[in-house]
Amino acid sequence: MTFPDVYLYDFSNDTHSVDELRQLLGEQRYEYCRQMKSAKAGLSSAFAFLLLRYALKKHSGITEIPELVIGEHGKPYLKDYPEIFFNMSHSDTRVICAVSDSPVGVDIQNIRKITPSAAKKFLTDEELKSCDLSDISGLCRIWCIKESYGKLTGKGFAEGFGSFSAGSLISDGRARCIKRDGFFISICIREVIM
């Protein structure tokens, strides 16, 4: 297995609207982006999809607008290229996309306050004992790692993030996480075998 190709884009200085990107998005993704809860969320989703298009061209030479289908747990797949795996994420004005020859999960998370009550929902008992719940950066890092794993499996938060340790994902080489410009980026490449 090779490490995924990973692409990051900061659209903070981009002045395009979702409507202006319609032709590049195609009707399926354009409608999806227009129906998001806010214009900012729609724009984030649009840029994530455009980054996917760029990644697919670089990775596999695919130039047409890809059609996405939704799997059993809500994870999107490429309808015409089931052998190509991808994952996208966005936070604030950053989008990230990973493309691979095997399943992949990616998350980007701006460093922001997480309440202790929210943290208790995604930390294992061991993590709760060893974590400082006032450590904003540390909690965001753990969340980002676990989110990338949930996106790898396609089960998201339904998997129960308190059932596996972010530290074990890192130490076993299943996930990598870096801090960059006030964001954490995590990439997960192998599922936990239970």
Contact 30, 22 (CB under 8 A): yes
Q: Which domain holds residue 43?
A: 5-101
Check whether 88 has a pLDDT greater than 60: yes
50 and 17, same structural domain? yes
Query: Averaged over 173-187, what is the pLDDT?
Result: 94
Percent of the chain whose predicted confidence (pLDDT) is above 70: 94
91 and 18 part of one domain = yes
Residue 193 inside a domain? The answer is no
Mean pLDDT of 38-62: 96
Q: Compute the average pLDDT of residues 24-37.
A: 96
Predicted confidence (pLDDT) per residue in 118-172, tens digit: 888 888 889 988 988 889 999 999 999 999 999 998 876 666 677 788 988 899 8
Q: How far from each other are the two terminal CA atoms of the chain, in whole angstroms?
A: 21
- HSE-CB of 2 using CA atoms within 13 angstroms: 10
Does residue 77 sit within a domain?
yes
More confident residue, 178 or 154: 178
Domain co-membership, 159 together with 182: yes
Do 90 and 69 fall within a single domain?
Answer: yes
For residue 137, the model assigns a pLDDT of 93
Q: What angle is formed at CA 125 by the lines to CA 124 and CA 128, rounded to 5 degrees?
A: 85
Q: For the chain, what is the mean pLDDT?
A: 91
Average pLDDT of the residues in 43-67: 97
Question: Closest by alpha carbon to 49, among 13, 73, 16?
Answer: 16
At 192 the pLDDT is 54
Instruction: Tell me the angle at which helices 39-60 and 22-34 cross, rounded to the nearest 10 degrees.
Output: 130
Last residue of a domain, one of 75, 101, 127: 101
**Pick from 81, 101, 121: which residue ends a domain?**
101
> Percent of the chain at pLDDT above 90?
69
Q: Rounded to whole angstroms, how far apart are CA atoms 181 and 20?
A: 28
pTM of the model: 0.89
Q: Do 84 and 168 share a structural domain?
A: no
Single out the residue in 67, 101, 135 at which a domain terminates: 101
- What is the domain count for the chain? 2
